[in-house]
Amino acid sequence: MRGRIWPFLLFIAALYFAGALNPLRAQVTNVQVQAPRPAGWILGDVIPVTITIDSKQAKLQQSSLPHPGRLNYWLDLRSLDVQEKAFKNGLRYTLTLRYQTFYVPLDVNQRQIPELDLLFTDGGQSQTIRIPPQDFFMSPLRGVAHSGIGLTEQVQPDVPARPIAKTFLQKLVISLGVLTVLWLIALAVHYCIWPFHRRPARPLARAHRAIKKRLRKPGADAYRHSLIQLHRALDVSNDGRLLAGDIPQFVQQHAFLKPVQTDLEQFFAASSFVFFSDDQTRALSELPPAALLGIAKRLAAAERKSI
């Protein structure tokens, strides 16, 4: 009789312990593991694993969490991040683990992240949640050997740097250079500068430049020499000595000077005060240096238009 009672007592005890554990087991309601991609990992890659666990009352024990560091000869746990927040009527734990692999495969090789046991407690009761191992495949950086293919052919050299397109810049520089040369030539022709200074006819232009330079220095001699300079230019233009009485005939022979005939008469009048009356003061009052320079400039401009 006693031998038959023992199985019954053991059955009652099993039902009791099962009833005591079931309330806690019901606290962990959901476990999700976001596994890493199955393939494409190489030496040095950081492999993330995200675990989401929902519970009603049970709390995750920090002592059951792995510590960052070396797990084995080829795998390190770089970091562990645990986030706890309220979710519905309970708690949600989000664990983010980052593993780094240092395995050097010679060929495509399957590796495995170790399983993980997490402890949850509620009062005096506890439950262990086992996270299964995570499998993934690693690829070699290059093959060990390939028949007929040398090492230099397996690892290709760096792509050579391409030169910057400079055709447009070269054309632009050449064009600007040509334009600059042409502009300098035109300027030399305009101002009778070497090698164009031997061309005929621009004595009035040369006289204007000389008077402009001379009048920069104040003094009676500068004014006197400026008058002489313009007289000589007019003599060259007339192919002989030009006097005040010759102005009408001179203007008739050089029609381009018709607009400045009055300027010529004013110039000769002032010149007569200086050279025939020795009255430079009156000459300066009748024709100041600035006015003399203006006459020389207008004569040079009329000469330039006639060419």
Summarised one tens digit per residue, pLDDT across range 148-178 is 555 555 567 788 888 888 889 999 999 999 9
Percent of the chain with pLDDT strictly greater than 90: 42
pTM of the model: 0.43
pLDDT band for position 1 (cuts 50, 70, 90): very low
Q: Which CATH architecture has domain 2-141?
A: Sandwich (2.60)
Which tokens is 166 given? 């400079």
Q: Give the pLDDT of residue 217.
A: 81
Q: Give the pLDDT of residue 3.
A: 53
Mean pLDDT across the stretch 193-208? 76
H/E element, 30? strand 28-34
Q: Which residues contact 36 (CB under 8 A, 6 or more apart)?
A: 47, 48, 49, 113, 134, 136
Q: Where does residue 123 rank: exposed (0-12), middle (13-18), buried (19+ CB within 10 A)?
A: exposed
- Tens-digit pLDDT profile for residues 65-102: 999 999 999 999 999 999 999 888 889 999 999 999 99
Judged by DSSP in three states, 202 sits in coil
Range with the lowest mean pLDDT among 5-9, 39-43, 130-134, 201-205?
Answer: 5-9
d(CA 31, CA 297): 101
Mean pLDDT across the stretch 30-57? 93
H/E element, 136? strand 134-138
Would you kindly state where each structural domain of the chain is located, as residue ranges?
Answer: 2-141, 194-306
Scanning the structure block, which residue is given the tokens 């010529």?
A: 264
Q: Where does residue 204 rank: exposed (0-12), middle (13-18), buried (19+ CB within 10 A)?
A: buried
Name the residue with higher pLDDT: 12 or 51. 51
Q: Are 226 and 245 in contact (CB under 8 A)?
A: no
